[in-house]
Chains A and B, each alone.
Chain A
Amino acid sequence: MTLVPGNVFGFWMFVVISVIVVYMIRASQNDKIQVSIRTIPGLEAIEECVGRATEMGRPIHFSPGLGDVVSDSVPDTLAALQILSYVTDIAARYDSQLLVTIRMPNVYPLAVETVRQAYTAANKGDAYKDNTVRYISSDQDAYAAGVIGLMHQEQVASSILAGLYMGEALLLAESAARLGIMQVAITASVMQVPFFVAACDYTVIGEELYAAGAYLSNDKGRLGAIAAQDYIKLIVIAITILGTIVTSFGSTFIQELVTK
């Protein structure tokens, strides 16, 4: 068994980064390092979203995005499910009705388990209903139409859109804005960020999606992983600057190294 050419550098970077991540997680869990994350207004607004829905006596809508758990969008979907766990916890404490809409069938059982566990942890197991988590459609257009229809029917007060989004991002967000729904969008989908910024009250972008679980749970292990990300960024920045300088002087050393 040999590495396919073009993947050698990537594989060894994977090994190095894995060591950094595991070390930082253990260090954070053993209190060798103290990790804190700057305030992210969009994530702070989640509680406001749930509170608004409670005051208005209307449901709060949550979507874990269009991603699946058997594709490249796995990290986005799992990050969205971590946020769902937090939202359910607050909704349970406030006795607010929660509506979760699902696009991909594979995500449905995970979302059901996440919501059920969060309700049980909050000693509100009875609050979970069969229609709390709803499968809409795996078709992108039908999902958007279904969610917009549900927002009208159920007179949703707040909406949280987390995870991977595609072309229907503006359909969902602008329809909700026209209904006066308070919205928080949390996504790493670069092309959809402008639409969310234009239509939503709060937008959490890029890597903040993956940091949301650590931010909201304040879990030491997760915070350690976020600290590791900063060190990895430093490595990437160093390689980028070094590559720029070396290439400017006519050397192809860095190019050959990263494509090895």
Chain B
Amino acid sequence: MRKEVPLLITLIVSIIVMLSRITTGPVPLIGISMPELFEEYISPWMTVVSAFALCLASVNLIMVHSGNISRKRQEWVYSLILLVTLIIYGAFCTYVELNPDNETAAANYSLIYNYILSPLMTGQWACLAFYVASASYRAFRARNLEATVLLVSAILVMLGAAPVGSLIWSKFPTIQQWLLDVPNMAGQRALLIGAAIGSFVASLRTMLGIERSHLGIGGSS
């Protein structure tokens, strides 16, 4: 039973989800359509399961960081900041939800996001510019034929995209566009088609119960 029940649930739910996307009209004997069946019976369960999963994950987060603080592990102060922020933000959010008429509280709640979290995230993403430069430097070193092709293509694309490129030679933008539209697009589409087929077969294995490792029941059967 421990094996069969989860596999049966997977099969039934996946068929309903799939048919809800591609069929219309009432199902014989049931009387409602597949999209309605999904919305009324499957979707609420997804919310319930997700809520339980979030509880489990939150308990893990609190336990790990409480452990860091109690054992005074390296950089434990960040764990303290995380837990304090979790409590303050959680309490503030609950208060705002329970008192929707209190506009001052809602505005202050937005301030935390707009003036603390948002600048931190922007700063983090700003690092990407430097990371792209350093990663490109390593990747573009002409160590072998493939890296040399990459280096030459990158130089041509950069010259085509930069204003100075067209001043040096008017054909650089044309070459850049050709590189992006033909070899690059062909490679991307080949990768996408292969990945789509792989993804489909992997889904089918799970749907039919052939793949069961995620249920902790071992490999395929």
Contacts and interface: CB of A to CB of B under 8 A. Distances in A.
Interface of A: 1-4, 7, 10-11, 17-18, 21-22, 25, 70, 74-76, 78-79, 81-82, 85, 102, 105-106, 108-110, 113-114, 116-117, 130-131, 133-136, 141, 144-145, 149, 152-153, 167, 170-171, 173-175, 177-178, 188, 190, 193, 195, 197-199, 205-211, 213, 217, 219, 221-222, 225-226, 228-229, 232-233, 236
Contacts of A110: 214
Interface in B164-210: 188, 191-195, 197-206, 208, 210
A78 B211 contact: yes
B28 interface: yes
B221 interface: yes
Contact of B202 (A10, A11, A75, A113): A75
Contacts of A221: 210, 219-221
Contact of A25 (B63, B194, B210): B210
B205 A21 contact: yes
B135 A199 contact: yes
Contact of B191 (A167, A190, A229, A232): A190
- The 7 closest A-B CB pairs, nearest first, are A207-B198, A221-B220, A210-B198, A135-B57, A198-B139, A198-B135, A105-B57
Interface of B: 19, 21-28, 33-34, 46, 49-50, 53-54, 56-58, 60-61, 63-64, 67, 73-75, 78, 121, 124-125, 127-128, 131-132, 134-136, 138-139, 188, 191-195, 197-206, 208, 210-211, 213-216, 219-221
A106 to B, nearest CB: 5
Contacts of B22: 3-4, 7, 10-11
Dominant SS among interface residues on chain B: helix
Looking at chain A's contact residues, is the secondary structure mostly helix, strand, loop, or mixed? helix
Given A82-B213, A171-B124, 12 more contacts: A1-B23, A4-B22, A4-B24, A17-B201, A106-B49, A114-B216, A170-B128, A211-B198, A222-B220, A229-B197, A232-B201, A236-B193
B74 to A, nearest CB: 6
Nearest to A74: B203
A255 B61 CA distance: 52
